[in-house]
Every structure is written in structure tokens, then in C-alpha cells.
Structure 1
């Protein structure tokens, strides 16, 4: 792991610059090289530059870095990390490759071009340096045919998926010459340092994910053309109803780019010999036509879908493949789709969809069947195990279940019987496996997980850094439980509080479990981790409950809810055992307030964290305002130093509902404390949180002393209110926004007291609660709450 400290990326296109950005994200200085331009741009000529000027010679890499700062979603965890990338070119800076630990080739997908570049790299290569290609399907062996034996040992494929920051999958592809120690090092490095899900693929056309995924997309397109389904119908079936992303089939193709997809398909077509397989990968005429027309997806404004602006707003139109004309996209519904929507879990959705026996059920089966059979037929050829294949499709194509997990979900034996009854050829190894009395490829027994490997069940190795709450619950490790949360024993005397309500929204059940967990941990455990494995950590408090009580005028009930929230957070904060929160993805409003009492927060790299209550016409009232005031007071201990700049920053962050774009970005917004950290691999965050608890316990943990809070008082409040007034005069915010901002300023300033007054935490909590209650009574706030619940986005009234 200490071997790779610096890197170089050759090729500054979208993929190359994205890989460079992610290396910079994790603290690795990286050299970004590209070709020297052969001509001057008009602006370079007007500036008097020549082809020999460094600005011209490094232009491609420099421009790519500029785009990194503007790209959305952001390739960088923090814009400041761009300083870890050094631009250069392949003529002036080639020799610098001898000073790095890892060289990544990310140039055009052309074998001859890659061979020529690798020959140039080897001339300046320092023995021991790892060299890899980011190819999506070109043979690793073919690239290095002319290289020396020692160079071949250090060469392999490292196939990132786009965008590199966000896509979990990284395929490691060794050649027959690659040193196994290099493969092990890269697997560990890419998982731990880069946060990737690594699968080892064989050096076959398009490796694993693109081989199976492309096959599935082509099968889907052919089924659509053969049986007259529309673009909208296919996407309605091949999205969440089948455990696939909302982008389904054709929105995914538009995002990838039809030109890119055709290139990937052609790669397999040109390299396989089996006539049946070759036929599937022969690009359908409709795709060729669309590429010729330039209808290649989002990057050109149209593909299978396009957005059209009109007086009524934006309209999504879908392509009719018969007329080649666009028309307003239709919403598709049927009994099978509704049944899938109502079913729980991906297995339940698939069974409901396939069991309905209607037109869409038939489409789903006719798409799924060939993919399962093809995956089984390609096992051993493209991967060593079903686990590698399943993970590749889950991490690379965002499927909920890989092909073999899907087969188990729909019933292995029953589905094979149907396949054979329909005349399909099932691989012999699958039939032999069933004949031996097995009815699944995976199984769990006595808390141990097993998978099919070479005609027997092989145990899945338990890895300490991969703590699975789902697996622990199956092993009866639940200490306490209610409808909203669980307290789980995660070993070594540490418990984990897991939210499990819809969207992990905080209601009375979670708050009750927090209080019970504090009592349990105080008596029987060394410390507490607050984490879960939901899609998001927590999207806030139970807004529906609050709105219902407010509309009914049940103010004592609303007051009770807020008091329970505040008391639960204070009880968590006062626990005399270490508490570590490990949030991930969306962590908003009350989710942030549930983390703030922790002694340490371990953010996942992809944590979108912020107090966003103003979006629904409220202010934080679960301790969020109080904690921000406390942090400012703690940071500025000298009573002679003005607190106002720190409070102003917090006011702006909350009033504008700013949300971090990453775990690292929480520092920019003032949410990260010195003791808080970021873990890159989200699968490791619960383990890292547990280790933090154990370290604090071993060091003789004592809870932080209760401190009074120095506040900016009425004069500081006035400063914030002037800011809000200026925003209103500029037309940026509404009258109701001003009202909310004034309430927020009142709380953050400490109310009607002189500047420098010392107040208690409870005093600020009371201010929070009073402001929150008064805003709940405002009609415009209730309208904002209703709009958020129905539309999923804020209303600015």
C-alpha cells in the first residue's frame, strides 16, 4: 500500500481527467499528460503565443483541468484538490514518468495507438513502476506483445467506469505475464485507497461488466424490435421493476452515448467466433442510423429521448422507431408493473413482474432469460467465479442483483424448467448443479455465506472491514428493535444504532430507540456507532407527521415532538461512552442533527450533508442551531475576539440550505470538526467508526465537559438581519424567506441578550423550539411542507 504514492495519467479526455481527479481526491499527486497541439487557437495568436510556449504545449491538460472545476456532478471532492494535479505534455514531460509509482494509459481505444504509447513509456520506465491501461475491452496481452518480460510483469488493465469518482466498479485485468503480487497490490490499493469495488476479470473482449451488460442491452433492443414495444414500454419494464436503475435501457444508452455503445458492441463482434454470439453483437440497423444522424444521446441533445422547451415548460419526448419521429413520452402502466411496484425487495418485484403473465411480463422474461443463460455460458471464460460476475453488474451497471443472484431470486430450478420447456439450451453445469440437489447458487447456513464454485459450495471469506448490518441481523445480533430503528451488536463490545424507517426519516420510534440505546450502551457496551445501510443515511424528520399536527393546530403535539427530538440528542451527547456517527449519501436536516452529538463523525466520501429546514419554511430545532453556536464559541475562546464572522458563516450556510457535495466538502461549510474524518470506501465506514469507538474507549474516554456558550447577542442578530434585508431588496428572496431568516438569526445570536453573554445549551434549545413552533403556524410554511411532500422539491413562496 505504501508503494503507490504518486501517479501519472496519460490522456486528458473525460475519462483520463476524471481518473486524475479521483487520484487527487484521495491525496495522490498526479501528473496529467496529453499530446502537444499542432496549431494555435485564435486567442493564443492574439496573445502573441507560439507553438513553443508552455501554455500552448500543455493546453489539452490545462483545459481538461479547467473543465474539472466546472463539471457537474463534480469529479473532485473539493475544488481545492485540483492543486494536486500537474498538467504537462508527452514531449516535454515524458521523462517525468520515471519518477512516479503508477502510470495509467487512458488514450483512444485503438490497439496500435496504445502499443506505440506503451513503447514510449517503456523507454523512460523505472523498473518496479506499475503501468496499466484503462481500456474498456482491448486485449491487455496484445498491447504488450513487443514489451520486455520485466515490463510485462508490471503491466495490467485497470478499467474504471465513468464517472470515476462515482462509479464503484473497477475491473483489474492481468495478462498471463502480470506478477500476481502486482495484482494483489492493485486490488488492495484500489479498494482501500480509491474506494472501489474491485473484480478480477480475464483478458477477454470487453471483460465482464461490458460483456454481459452490452449483451443484455442488445437483447433488449432486439426483443423490442421483434415484438413492437415502444421506447417508453421497455424503460418501464427494465428499470426499478427489474431491480435496475431508473434510467432503465434507453435513458442509460443516451447517457453512455450511442456511439460509445456501438464501439463497445463492435469490439465483441469482431473478436468472437461463435455465430450465435456474433449475431447478437452485430449492431442493429436502427442504432447505426441514429449514430449516422448524430442522435447519439444527451451529449448531442437527442437520442432515444430529447428534451424540448415550450411555453408550457420542458417536455421529454421519446423516439418512435417506426416513424423516426419524436412525440411526448407516455407514462406506461399495467397490472404486472403495478404488482412489481407494490412488492417488497428486488426478489419480490421480479416474481411479481414475471408472474403476472401479461405483455410486459413476457417482455421481462424474454429479456432476462437470455442474459442468465449467456452469463452461465461465459462463466470460466470471462471470470473465475459467479461472485465476480454478479459484483461487476451490480457495481458497473447499478443492478440491484447480479445475474446469478437474480436466478436465485426468481427460483433456479423452476426457471430452468421453464427455459427448457421453451426449447432454450441450458449450460450443462447448471443442469448438473440442480441434479445434484441444489436449488440456488448462493446460500446461508449458521451465519456463513456460501457460493457456487466448481460444482461445490465455497464459503465467502468474512472480512473484518466489511461489517454488514444485514448479515448481523440474520445472525440474531439485534439487541433492541422497533419499527423505526435497531440496536445491533457489531462485536468487541460496540453497538450500532441503525435507522430503518421509510427514507430513514426521524420520528418518535427512532427517537425512542435513541434513548433506549443510550441506556443499553451505558450499562453493557464500550460505545455506540450511529450508522445504517439505507440508500441514504437520513433525509430529515418525519415531515408528514409535523404537517398533519400543524394543520390540525395540535401545538402541544408539535411541541412534544420537538422536545423529544432535543432531549434525545442531548441524552446521546451526554452518554459517558464514546459515540461515533458514520453518515453516507443524503444526510439532511434532522439527519445532520443526529450526527452532531457524536464525539466523532466519520463521513463517507459521498456524503451530502446540510441543515436544509428553510426549504420547508422552518429552521433547525433538534439542536442544529445550538451546535453551530457552540462550535463558534469553542473555536473563538478569547472573549476579546469577535465571534461575528463565524456566526455569519453559519447563518449563511443554514439560511441558504447549503449542502456539501462530498464528505470532504463538509469542511468548507463549517460542519467538519478537527476530529472528524472521511472514509473513501463506503463499505468500510461502519468498521472505521467501530475502530474509532474502540480507540477512544482504550484511551480512557471521558465525555466532553458541559460549557456555556458565548453568543453575539442583539447586535450580532442585527448584522444578520441586515444581510437578509439586502437579499430581499436585491430580489433574491421572498418576504417569507426574510421571516425565516430573522427567526434563524434570533436563535444563532442567542436572542435578546448583550453581545458576549454566556448562555446554556438548554437556553438555545428553547429558542430553537419557540422559533420552530411559530413558523409551523405560518400558512406559507405549511404550503412549503406540503409541496415538498408532494413534489419532492422546495417551494419558494
Structure 2
């Protein structure tokens, strides 16, 4: 098989519909099948339908499809992608499985039900079609007992994590007869086409991520009950202080659902024989009691936490185990927690936490130690590679460091000595590794990574599609650098401009580096990629600096900052070599303006992209308005055709601070150009941007000639202002919003000139800067800027 173009998903519940949606996101045609209902709904009876009617027979899959466009967070990159999914049922449409390349089973976690389904599937199965199960714990081998050798050779587990669009992890689990070529193909396809992080697991209870993660949660719960810690104390320790998500332990359990967790834990309990392991997976009576009470988490309204309405609004309350009542959640503080908070990076945070001397340091060590030992014990049983175990926990549970990376972070030899001194049994292979003179499971050397593998240190294979800027910097590939950005040689004559200021906010250091990078690339390189490896691509300009200068009345300084920004963007646009931007995650305000000058943009699928300056009482002034006006002019080549609809759309997008919900969604907002595209796997985006630069260069890149921009002028501006005034009269926006909208309309329409006037880019940049400066002087704008900096959300004043 060379690729997969069409798939079938059987089961349209939460996971089935989510998987179908993500396959549609990847461009696949999908058949979504489910059972045929056995009873009519009241509305179906009222409509005169019978159980034989297609609307009834396809109801489950149709309802799931309709729910996709309403669900939040959205499972689809764009609502229109739902058109790629065809709903049906298992009785009328089973024959459609003959036409697909991949069949995914996502039904109830019941072995007998799955075995019966696969028997039916094999009746219509075409040789060569891949069949997988999305099970989270049912034996892959047991599911296909009695199936033909050919069917088994094409069968494996593909365990997606919920929600499938957003969770990176995909566990692939071969059965004993799965062809190795099928495993390799699926790993490659799911990484490239679906954007997943794939690990290969063995057919053991709960596979890798849920096996280790569930063990860790149960150990934590048992330690809490034994030592008398509170819900809040445990979550304070097991969140960011330990390199884990903010949801920590009990908010995570509430999100997952205690009923689901009890089922997952019970799956291991019923299948393992070791008494000590079985004891851990025997769910505590407390949790069983909560499930019996229906206190199963967010979906029931209460679990370990409960949100309660009060006279002041609402408050979060935490469960008190002694009385099984709820009390207002209390803030937790302690010396070790503070030490972790002050440390930089997950490794330093964990080390600071466990080396403390208070009860929180003790809690952290007592729950971390068994997880590290258990992970080591299970190596070879659940997976052959420590890398797969680490990645499974990072991608499936959102840990910043996997178990073996964590062990390295706290000091492998020192921590093993502490474990043994406390009477713990350390797996023999770990002690042998230390005895051989190794001080860590991983080591870095000149940008290369080596890891423990079967008693030896083996270099980790790096996919050519993955370009690591961090590794290149270790290899001394930095061309030039300052505090905010670096220019890095990424090979084949291509350089990459990387932002690395706090939050990647654009300030003078980044703008200076942009200008220096243009000069460097012009002289010595084939082209430039603009990308970075931060949590977000760029959250905008340095708002704090702007606010301080504005409050001090330093208008020349503010004017200088904006001129520097505009000049840097214009210089980037005028580079005679190809420039490709590769944004990811939050790309806001100035981050968008840093991408707009590029010849091409490679969006990561999860890119949240928008000019949001009006949220802080400003308008885009780094070329954002100018570029939107230019795109409108380029879209309407005929001077007799009205520009207004294009300007209206741009005005609405910016004035309402609209942000894309995905890389694909940038098209709906008018940001995506014909040459731009989306890459599914964020790990591949810098490579794809580099390849785009090389293609443009090989094709004989020529800098597009600067062109005049046809503007909507005074009449166009009047239309936009009228729309803003109508919203004010309707009570939707404030007087200050109207003022901002007027400034935005003035710039986008090209100022006070006749409709159809041709203006220069610099003319529009001057209008941007003037409008921005005048808004900076407004008290209400300064209040909005201050509020955003302190509260992290916009103020409507």
C-alpha cells in the first residue's frame, strides 16, 4: 500500500466521531457507520417515520456528524470538512467497506462484541485493506482469534487519545501476525498525514501511556489517603511543579471521568498476576464510593472538585474525604513549591521540588519514585524502547518530561542510591547500566542524542522531516544572535530566523535581528525561513514597553518603535531571496505581521492566527492593515469592480479581532493566500518551509515588483464607519470601540482620497502609524493595555 485515501470508522460515539473528524481534517473521505436503532424517537414517530426509513436507520451516525460542527473544542479544522464524511449503518452499508483503504473499529470495549464485528468485517474485507481497533486496553491478539492469516497480517491496534484532533499520541499495537511492513507504513502515514506522535506498544493491558499514567494516579491517590494530604495539596505538587499540566491529578481525573478511570484501572487489575502490582490497580474504596454516588467529575457536575454558585458569582470547592463534603478550595504554599516555581524549566523544577525538606517535597518524592521504578520494571514488557515510554507519557498525559527523562533530571545515580537506602528494589538493568559507568539514560553530543537501548547507548534516528533548531544551535550553526532572536543555518543554503524573547513578543531586539538577517541572507544564502520552537510562534509586540512609553508621553519613542517595526517588515518583504514563514499555535498581532511579508506561509494545523490589536485599543501598525488592503487590491484586478466587499471582510476580521481556529481556518478569515498551505505534523513544519524555500529558489525566484494599491477611499471608509455606528446604536460596542473602528476604517480604505485611487505601501504604512500613535494617547486605550497585561484578557470600556 502506498497511501490511504478513504477510510471507514465503525462506531460514531465520542471517540469514533472524533477519529472520523480528524481523518476528514487530513483530507480523507470517510464512511461513518453505526448500529441500526431498534426504537423510534418521539419526533420520528411524529414525522410518520418507521424503523425502515433511512433517516432512522442512519440516525446515530447522522447525529454524530451534525454534532461535529457544534462541539467545542471543535473536532474539525473547518466545519465544511464534515462534507468529507458519509454517514451510514452496519446493515445497509457494510458492503462499502470493500471500497476503503483503512477500517477502524471504535465500538464498546467488549471482547466478544469486537470479535463478532471483525467476523462480519472479514466477510466483505478486501485483501490488502488495513483493519485496526481503537481499543484502550482489550487484547489485540484476542480480538482476531479465528480470523484468517491474511486478515491478521493486516490487523493492528491504533489507540487514539481523546480528543483525537488535539492529543498528539497514537499508540500502534501489532498483533503477533501483523506484517512488519504494515506497522512501518502505518507509523509513517499517521505521523505525516494525521500529524500524530506514534509509539509502538506491545499487546499488554492498557499498553504504554495508560498503563504508566494510571499507575501514577493510583499511587498518588494512595499516598494522599495514607498521609492525609488534601486534594488541593496534591494538585499543587503534581501540576507544573512536577512538569505536569495545570490540571494536575484531581482536575485531570474530573476531566477524564472517574467512571472511565475506574474501568481503565480495573482492566489492568483483572489481567495482571503480580500481587504488588494488583494491589496498586485495585481502585481505592473512596473512588468506588464516588462513582456509586454519581460524583464522577465534570460530566456529572462534581467529582474531586465542584463549582458552586455564590452571591459573588461562583467558587471552586474541593472534596473533604473525612466528611465527604465540599469546602472552598484553598491556596497551597510551601518552601519546596516556591523553589520549584522559581526554577527555570521542567528538569530544574522537579529537582528543586523533590530536594526540599517539607511535606510537599516528601509527597513529590513518594509518588515520583514508584512511577520511575515501575516504568523501568515494565521496559521490555510494554515497549522495547525507553523513548517510546517517555514519548507516550509526554504525548498522552502532557508531561513535559517522560519517566526516564525525569530520572536523568533528578540525577540517576543519586536517586537510585536514595531509593535503595529506603529499601526499594531497583531493576537489575538500571543497576547494570550505572555499574557500566553511565550517569544517565540519555546523553547529548554535538546535537546528536543517544539513549539506552538493550544495554547499550544507541543514537536516536532523526527523521529528515524533523529540523531541530535546538540541536543545530548545539552544533554551533548560529550565524548571528541577540537576546530576542537568532539566525541559524539549517542547511542547503537556507537560514532560519528564530524568535526566543519572553513569549516571543516582538521588541527592538527581534526587529534588529530581522534587518540583520535580511542583509546576511541577501549576501550568503538561498533563502530564509521564519520559524521557532517556542510554545507559541508569537503573541504580538512588546505591549509593556509600548504602555510605559505611552504613559510617560514619550511619543517620539513610540513613533520610533513603530517605524522600526514597519521598516523591518518592509525590508523582509523586499528581500531578493525567497522567504517562507512557518507559524504555529498562538500567532497574534505582530506575529501575524511577521508572517505577512513572506512569499509563502506554511501553517501548522494548530495555528491560531489573527490581528487582535483592537482588543487593547489599537490597530495593526506593523504592516497588517497595509497587507490586507494590498490583498484586496490584488484580488480585484478589474478597476470597474467594487473593492468594498473585500474591504468589508477585512474590516470585520480585524475590528472583531477574529482568530482562526486552525491553520485551515485562516482561509475563512482571508489570511490564507493561494500559495499558502497547511502541514499536519508540527514537527515537520520547519522542514516543509525549508523545502518551499528551495523550490522557489530552484524555480528562479524573482522579487515581485512593488505595485500600487487601489483603495476604497472616502466612500469606502464611510460604509465601514456606518457599520460601526450601527453596532454602537444596537449596544454591541462602546464609544471607544467606535473610535478605534473609525481609525481602522481610515487606514484600510486608504484615507481621505477618492475611491479607486492608487497609493503606495509607504502611504498606507504612514496612515497605520498615525492612527496607532493617536490611539496610544487615549486614556481608555491605555486602560485596555494595562488590563490585558495584568488580567490576560481584553477590557471593554
TM-score (norm 1): 1.00
For 1:307, the equivalent position in structure 2 comes to 307
Residue 658 of structure 2 corresponds to residue 669 of structure 1:
no
For 2:221, the equivalent position in structure 1 comes to 221
For 2:345, the equivalent position in structure 1 comes to 345
Give the C-alpha shift of residue 320 in structure 1: 1.2
Post-superposition CA distance 1:731-756 (Å, at most 9, x none) = 11011111100100000000000000
DSSP 3-state at the match of 1:131: strand
DSSP 3-state at the match of 1:12: coil
Task: Spell out the pairing of 1:178-217 with structure 2 (5 A cutoff).
Answer: 178-217=178-217
For 2:514, the equivalent position in structure 1 comes to 514
For 1:360, the equivalent position in structure 2 comes to 360
For 1:93, the equivalent position in structure 2 comes to 93
For 2:9, the equivalent position in structure 1 comes to 9
Give the C-alpha shift of residue 786 in structure 1: 0.4
Post-superposition CA distance 1:402-441 (Å, at most 9, x none) = 0000000100000000000000000011001101110000
Whether contact under 8 Å (2:528, 2:580) holds in the other structure is: yes
Give the C-alpha shift of residue 67 in structure 1: 1.0
Give the C-alpha shift of residue 640 in structure 1: 0.2
For 2:469, the equivalent position in structure 1 comes to 469
Give the C-alpha shift of residue 314 in structure 1: 2.3
Give the C-alpha shift of residue 285 in structure 1: 0.6
Distance in 1 (alpha carbons) for counterparts of 2:97 and 2:91: 11
Distance in 2 (alpha carbons) for counterparts of 1:761 and 1:321: 66
Count of aligned pairs between the two proteins: 797
Distance in 2 (alpha carbons) for counterparts of 1:104 and 1:230: 42
For 2:637, the equivalent position in structure 1 comes to 637
For 1:166, the equivalent position in structure 2 comes to 166
Task: Spell out the pairing of 1:681-692 with structure 2 (5 A cutoff).
Answer: 681-692=681-692
Distance in 1 (alpha carbons) for counterparts of 2:367 and 2:414: 17
For 2:316, the equivalent position in structure 1 comes to 316
Whether contact under 8 Å (2:3, 2:189) holds in the other structure is: no
Distance in 1 (alpha carbons) for counterparts of 2:495 and 2:201: 37
For 1:291, the equivalent position in structure 2 comes to 291
Cα RMSD (Å) of the superposition? 0.7
Post-superposition CA distance 1:109-144 (Å, at most 9, x none) = 111111111111111111111100000011000001
Whether contact under 8 Å (2:446, 2:474) holds in the other structure is: no
Give the C-alpha shift of residue 12 in structure 1: 0.2
For 1:576, the equivalent position in structure 2 comes to 576
For 2:550, the equivalent position in structure 1 comes to 550
For 1:435, the equivalent position in structure 2 comes to 435
Give the C-alpha shift of residue 95 in structure 1: 1.1
For 1:385, the equivalent position in structure 2 comes to 385
For 2:774, the equivalent position in structure 1 comes to 774
Give the C-alpha shift of residue 329 in structure 1: 1.2
Distance in 1 (alpha carbons) for counterparts of 2:660 and 2:110: 39
Distance in 2 (alpha carbons) for counterparts of 1:15 and 1:32: 12
For 1:724, the equivalent position in structure 2 comes to 724
Distance in 1 (alpha carbons) for counterparts of 2:52 and 2:293: 39
Post-superposition CA distance 1:528-555 (Å, at most 9, x none) = 0000000000000000000000001100
DSSP 3-state at the match of 2:558: helix
Give the C-alpha shift of residue 473 in structure 1: 0.8
Residue 588 of structure 2 corresponds to residue 593 of structure 1:
no
DSSP 3-state at the match of 2:431: helix
Whether contact under 8 Å (2:505, 2:539) holds in the other structure is: yes
Distance in 2 (alpha carbons) for counterparts of 1:357 and 1:145: 54
Of 446-455 and 670-679, deviating more is 446-455
Give the C-alpha shift of residue 446 in structure 1: 3.2
Give the C-alpha shift of residue 448 in structure 1: 2.0
DSSP 3-state at the match of 1:70: coil
Distance in 1 (alpha carbons) for counterparts of 2:310 and 2:446: 60
Which ranges of 4 or more aligned residues in structure 1 deviate by more than 6 Å? none
For 1:245, the equivalent position in structure 2 comes to 245
TM-score (norm 2): 1.00
Distance in 2 (alpha carbons) for counterparts of 1:446 and 1:72: 44
Give the C-alpha shift of residue 347 in structure 1: 1.0
Residue 729 of structure 2 corresponds to residue 748 of structure 1:
no
Distance in 2 (alpha carbons) for counterparts of 1:579 and 1:310: 54
Residue 351 of structure 2 corresponds to residue 325 of structure 1:
no
Give the C-alpha shift of residue 311 in structure 1: 2.6
Give the C-alpha shift of residue 94 in structure 1: 0.8
For 1:397, the equivalent position in structure 2 comes to 397
What are the ranges of 5 or more consecutive residues in structure 1 without an aligned counterpart?
A: none
Give the C-alpha shift of residue 333 in structure 1: 1.2
Whether contact under 8 Å (2:239, 2:247) holds in the other structure is: yes
Of 425-434 and 309-318, deviating more is 309-318
Distance in 2 (alpha carbons) for counterparts of 1:89 and 1:186: 26
